[in-house]
Amino acid sequence: MADYDLTQRIAPNLDRHLVFPIMEFLQERQLHPDDQILKAKIELLSETNMVDYAMDIYKSLYHTEDVPQEMIDRRVEVVGRLKSLEESAAPLISFLQNPNMVQELRPDKQYNLQMLHDRYQQIGPEQIEALYQYAKFQFECGNYSGAADFLYQYRALCTNTDRSLSALWGKLAAEILMQNWDIALEELNRLREIIDSKNFKSPLNQLQNRIWLMHWSLFIFFNHDSGRNGIIDLFLYDRYLNAIQTNAPHLLRYLATALIINKKRRPQLKELIKVIQQEQSSYKDPITEFLHCLYVNYDFDGAQQKLRECEDVILNDPFLGKRVEEGNFSTVPLRDEFLENARLFIFEAYCRIHQCIDIGTLAVKLNMNYDEAERWIVNLVQNAKLDAKIDSKLGTVVMEPTHFNVYEQIIENTKALSLRTYKYVNLVLESASAQAAR
């Protein structure tokens, strides 16, 4: 299933450090030769300060205790640079580590700079810049906790908007790598607000920032409790959906998955299917093709085949295939939920055009044996998800006629009206603000 591995598309939109969890997953799933992944890790590490880690991987790859001289020299260089930065930032770090002194800081950054300059002559713009460089260096060394703390403190003092934005990206990466999902989500939302409101030098620059944000968000949305709604809200927002269609159609896999497993967001599935239809020539995989077969071509056999392939795609995707250990067993919760909901999609679509359905035929469509399909349908009826009767003797399901209530249809058709209105109002306000700024 390496054919559907999106690493080469996703990695260029991530910080180097964020690629490591993906590499670990691929190595564990053995999707690529082990030596190939180890070489890729060494190449990634060559642009970071994690020299000891690179040495360990080199020894493992080449089965030796000796490492190249350039790695040894690089390690000496990193240690020397770390000491130098630590000395430069020492006065400010000492101040920030004193709770009583930190209480003197205020939300007004200009006041803070003046106060530090007046009371602590050793602290000025040079020390603040040194704090940023020290925090960045710590991040490159793999000390994500220290880097996150220093970048947070730096942003409280920084008056340069571009540098502050860079620090926020670094803070977000550090929180993701430490798996602090609540804090990471807060930083993600903060970053989104800045990207959407900032006047970039060019629209292309803003587009690229949105694409980066969506790629980084995958780590959060598929680990955070509210992620399933979060990814739909972000990816279906007009400007972000345009960014996906412009330069990152592979992200449709994750949007499609989120909508399939999120029953409450079913009305928005129509919007996604239109996009999938438009992007068929630029990107498709079993998950997007499953929806295309079912809702565009009404090809139940094709949907059944794609559903089989979907399971392998999910198991081998670093964001979707997260495993949970339960005693001696290992499960992939998202796969189970996806298959359950996807079967329900097939069943509902099939029921729309058949009043009397043979359970045996349905079992084939759902990739289940006869007994499993019968139990599954019984559960649907009992849980009031299906208005039907089961004839066990004939082995059929008889659908009850559906009488649409005009009020229900009106409510259904106007569900997304308030959201659409909100989006258009925001677009008008943003456009007005941009014109006023000029």
Q: Locate tokens 């106007």: which residue?
A: 414
The one-letter amino acid code at 240 reads Y
pLDDT, residue 248, reads 96
If one counts every other C-beta atom within 10 angstroms of the C-beta of residue 69, the result is: 8
pLDDT single digits (tens) 55-90: 999 999 999 999 999 999 999 999 999 999 999 888
pLDDT, residue 324, reads 86
pLDDT, residue 85, reads 93
- Spatial CB neighbours of 394, under 8 Å, sequence gap ≥ 6: none
pLDDT, residue 213, reads 97
> How many angstroms separate the CA atoms of 438 and 433, rounded?
9
Q: Return the exposure string of 71-83: e unless at least 16 CB atoms fall within 10 Å of the residue's CB, then b.
A: beebbeebeeebe
> How many angstroms separate the CA atoms of 115 and 67, rounded?
50
pTM of the model: 0.85
pLDDT, residue 239, reads 93
pLDDT, residue 243, reads 96
Residue 342 contacts residue 310 (beta carbons within 8 Å): yes
Kind plus residue range of the DSSP H or E element containing 371: helix 370-382
Low-confidence ranges of the chain (pLDDT < 50): none
> How many angstroms separate the CA atoms of 274 and 192, rounded?
26
pLDDT, residue 386, reads 61
pLDDT, residue 362, reads 80
pLDDT, residue 286, reads 96
